[in-house]
């Protein structure tokens, strides 16, 4: 693997970002070498002074050399700034855009398995950490190592190798000490990230469930748990910093030994007359000049090791398999056919097994059955939220796994059981169904969904901001806005997952009437537990334990006396129940 490709994979970079990082490392190397030049000029000047060879003709040389070096330092620092910071910020923008595009193309099953706090940390915190590493730590570290190696090789050529070894042996020893503890550091960082995410989950859960906590007088017990999580974060942060400090300071102590070995070996060589006094003092000055920046480089090295955890997390998202397919649809009609479909979320847990049925265009197909039977999974597979494990699903004769998910979604209007609304106006929330919809189209969809009745009571009507996730509305009102979106989109396929679960009987009846207008010549799949919701369905598919137990018209299934008939009977008896 080439250096560019290694950098791409190691630090989650684009190809151009990896090339820019190579340039940044080179610019830091050149800058460090240029910063060494004043020491060389000073050495030559002192040597001329001690040997009484500083003539009037040499003075202009030192003046010109000093001016040239000053100009070089300014130029190389300018180049380094552009190569490190500006290129890093460009790459950061590319990385965030690439991450967003990747997330957009990932199968929805990925988000079901992934912790939301973990994903948020990757998108926000990990990207920022890698940005800091790319602009400050990585180029500085690599540049320092290359420039130090070049200076050391030059010293071997022009000076006694023994004093050079005495000065430079501590540098690889110090870095090997820090590198040897890399797994130890990464474990500490992973543990630190883990307790932080536990705290984030706890805070989010507390905010979302504060009403239930208070109504059950459970807020004090919950806060005790949250306090323990906060203390765990503080404790783990302390130990993580302590562990990193031990690693870095161990290397720094080894670096300091270089001053002693340089003085000892240099003193012995000086006493034997094998080096002159100027060389001895120059090496003492070199180590005092070299070791302090090397301590900072050690810290950068430790920070890079710690950042490996963030890079792996980001690379896991960017390398995850995405759903692909054709960006055009060549289907013949909108019949949805499940052909011996099996599916499992994990390899060892089967959710659906050999499911086959057809949801025909122009008909309402109702999925019913006990909870956990696989109804919601079937509806998600129909829209390619996930890809099937075995078998296939076709839309108008076309295998949906061969169609790009975003292209496929254009044919679907979906109403979920759990409604998601935004902190915007009612009008804008309905417009999600069709971004270019006119106000007249929005009003028509709202009336079909029976939204007029409650919107008229809001302070600004359709322009009323409804709060985060529709917090200003009731469950039924939120559900009706979601249904209005589906009406507005007016797609040829409609998936309704317990769409009327939050509605009272009166509104449910109104929605059923509206649905009857909407579904003409469309493919409709309804998931419902209320038997009256599916009484007008053309076809019933009974799912239990991940398999199709019954399938047919409601009247036929009632005569068979199977699962569907028993469910209808149980709900009919339940509706007659009263409190005596």
Q: Any idea what the CATH number is for the domain that residue 480 is in?
A: 3.40.50.300
Instruction: Identify the band that residue 504 occupies on the pLDDT scale cut at 50, 70 and 90.
Output: low
Dihedral angle over CA of 346, 348, 354, 356, nearest 10: -20
Residue 100: inside a domain, yes or no? yes
Closest by alpha carbon to 309, among 199, 187, 197?
187
Q: Average pLDDT in the 468-476 region?
A: 78
By DSSP bridging, strand 336-346 and strand 349-359 are antiparallel
Q: Which of 189-193, 268-272, 394-398, 573-577 has the lowest mean pLDDT?
A: 573-577
Phi, psi for residue 349 in degrees, rounded to 5: -120, 105
Please check whether residues 426 and 286 belong to one and the same domain: no
- Answer yes or no: is pLDDT of 499 > 80: no
Q: Last residue of a domain, which of 318, 336, 365?
A: 318
Higher pLDDT, 444 or 54: 444
Q: Is the pLDDT of residue 502 over 60?
A: no
Q: Does residue 378 sit within a domain? A: no
Higher pLDDT pick, 512 / 275: 275
Task: Name the DSSP letter for residue 136.
Answer: I
pLDDT reading at 79 higher than 80: yes
- Which letter, b or e, does each residue of 333-358 get, where b requires 16 or more Cβ atoms within 10 Å of its Cβ? ebbbbbbebbbbeeeeebbbbebebb
Q: How far is CA 367 from CA 190, 338, 527, in A?
A: 44, 13, 5
Beta strand pairing status for 523-527 and 349-359?
A: unpaired
**pLDDT, position 573:** 66
Q: What are phi and psi of 174, to 5 degrees?
A: -65, -45
Average pLDDT, the chain: 83
Band of pLDDT at residue 428, cut at 50, 70 and 90: very high
Residue 210 lies in a domain: yes
What percent of the chain is predicted at pLDDT more than 70?
Answer: 93
Whether 400 maps to a domain, the answer reads no
Please give the Cα distance from 580 to 572 (Å, whole number): 18
The total number of structural domains in the chain stands at 2
Choice among 54-58, 308-312, 547-551 with the minimum mean pLDDT = 54-58
How much of the chain exceeds pLDDT 90, in percent? 10
On the question of pLDDT at 392 being above 90, the answer is yes
If you average pLDDT over residues 120-149, what whole number do you get?
A: 82
Residue range(s) defining the domain that contains residue 11: 3-318
The pLDDT assigned to 209 comes to 79
Q: Do 307 and 417 fall into the same domain? A: no
391 has a pLDDT exceeding 90? yes
Mean pLDDT of 509-528: 75
pLDDT of residue 33: 84
Residues 158 and 44 both lie in one domain? yes
- Last-in-domain residue among 468, 490, 512: 490
Taking a C-beta distance cutoff of 8 angstroms, is the pair 136, 300 a contact? yes
């Amino acid at each position: 693997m080439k250096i560019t490709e290694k950098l791409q994979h190691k630090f989650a970079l684009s190809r151009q970002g990896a090339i820019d990082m190579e340039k940044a490392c080179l610019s830091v190397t050149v800058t460090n070498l240029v910063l060494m030049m004043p020491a060389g000029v000073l050495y030559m000047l002192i040597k001329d002074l001690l040997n009484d060879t500083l003539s009037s003709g040499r003075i202009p040389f030192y003046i010109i050399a000093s001016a040239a070096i000053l100009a070089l330092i300014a130029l190389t620092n300018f180049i380094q700034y552009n190569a490190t910071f500006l290129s890093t910020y460009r790459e950061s923008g590319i990385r965030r855009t690439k991450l967003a595009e990747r997330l957009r193309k990932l199968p929805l099953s990925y988000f079901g398995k992934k912790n939301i706090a973990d994903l948020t940390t990757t998108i926000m915190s990990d990207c920022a950490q890698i940005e800091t590493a790319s602009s400050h730590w990585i180029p500085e570290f690599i540049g320092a190592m290359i420039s130090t190696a070049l200076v050391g090789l030059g010293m071997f050529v022009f000076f006694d190798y023994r004093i050079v070894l005495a000065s430079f042996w501590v540098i690889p020893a110090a870095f090997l000490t820090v590198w040897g503890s890399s797994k130890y550091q990464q474990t500490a960082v992973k543990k630190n990230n883990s307790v932080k995410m536990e705290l984030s989950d706890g805070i989010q859960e507390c905010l979302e469930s504060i009403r239930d906590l208070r109504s059950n007088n459970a807020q004090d017990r919950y806060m005790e748990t949250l306090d323990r999580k906060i203390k765990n974060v503080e404790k783990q942060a302390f130990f993580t910093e302590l562990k990193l400090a031990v690693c870095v300071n161990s290397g720094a102590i080894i670096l300091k030994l270089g001053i002693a070995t340089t003085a000892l070996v240099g003193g012995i060589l000086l006493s034997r007359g094998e080096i002159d006094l100027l060389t001895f003092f120059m090496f003492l000055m070199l180590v005092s000049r070299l070791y302090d920046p090397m301590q900072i480089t050690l810290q950068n090295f430790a920070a890079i090791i710690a950042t490996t955890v963030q890079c792996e997390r980001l690379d896991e998202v960017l390398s995850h398999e995405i759903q692909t397919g054709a960006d055009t649809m060549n289907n013949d009609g909108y019949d949805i056919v499940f052909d011996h479909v099996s599916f499992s979320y994990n390899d060892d847990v089967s959710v659906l097994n050999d499911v086959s049925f057809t949801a025909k265009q122009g008909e309402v197909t109702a999925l019913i059955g006990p909870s956990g039977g696989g109804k919601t999974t079937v509806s998600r597979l129909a829209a390619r939220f996930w890809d099937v494990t075995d078998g296939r699903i076709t839309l108008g004769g076309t295998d949906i796994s061969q169609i790009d998910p975003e292209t496929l979604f254009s044919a679907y209007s979906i109403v979920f059981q759990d409604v998601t609304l935004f902190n915007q106006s009612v009008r804008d929330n309905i417009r999600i169904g069709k971004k270019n919809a006119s106000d007249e189209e929005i009003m028509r969809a709202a009336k079909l969904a029976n939204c007029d009745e409650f919107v008229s009571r809001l302070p600004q009507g359709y322009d009323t901001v409804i709060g985060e996730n529709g917090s200003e509305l009731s469950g039924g009102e939120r559900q009706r806005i979601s249904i209005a979106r589906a009406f507005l989109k007016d797609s040829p396929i409609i998936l309704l997952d317990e769409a009327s679960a939050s509605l009272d009987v009166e509104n449910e009846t109104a929605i059923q009437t509206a649905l009857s207008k909407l579904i003409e010549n469309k493919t409709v799949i309804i998931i419902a537990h209320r038997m009256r919701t599916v009484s007008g369905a053309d076809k019933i598919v009974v799912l239990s334990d991940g398999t199709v137990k019954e399938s047919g018209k409601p009247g036929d299934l009632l005569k068979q006396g199977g699962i569907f008939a028993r469910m209808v009977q149980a709900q009919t008896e339940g509706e007659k129940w009263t409190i005596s």
